[in-house]
Amino acid sequence: MQTILPQNTSPQMAEAWLIQMINNVGPGFHPDTDASDYVDIATNKRLFSENQAEEVNKSLETVFRLLDDPYETGLPVAIKLVKESIQKD
């Protein structure tokens, strides 16, 4: 999982990164949540190391700077994941 965006990130790259994070972390990924707060429910351990959490948080700052509304990008992805999860059950 790529936790940090390159320095010369375009809005399209920021959007793709956000979608990748939601797909990897799950529909509970929220751009306002500190990355150090995410826990793997199977192991009860932090999902990101301290270093990775810093990278994710910095990348999210970039996402908010480059995208008009990160929630508009992320919400359809999260809803799709939830629907897929419900259909599996």
Q: pLDDT by residue (tens digit) across 45-83?
A: 999 999 999 999 999 999 999 999 999 999 888 899 899
**pLDDT (mean) for 82-88:** 86
Mean pLDDT of 22-34: 92
Query: What is the pLDDT, as a whole number, of residue 88?
Result: 76
Are 3 and 50 spatial neighbours (Cβ–Cβ below 8 Å)?
no
Which one, of 1, 3, 2, lies nearest residue 52 by Cα?
3
CA dihedral angle for residue 3, residue 8, residue 11, residue 16, rounded to 10 degrees: -30
* pLDDT confidence of residue 89: 63
Q: Report the alpha-carbon distance of residue 53 to residue 59 in Å, rounded.
A: 10
What is the H or E stretch that residue 55 is in? helix 50-66
Look up the pTM and report it.
Answer: 0.87
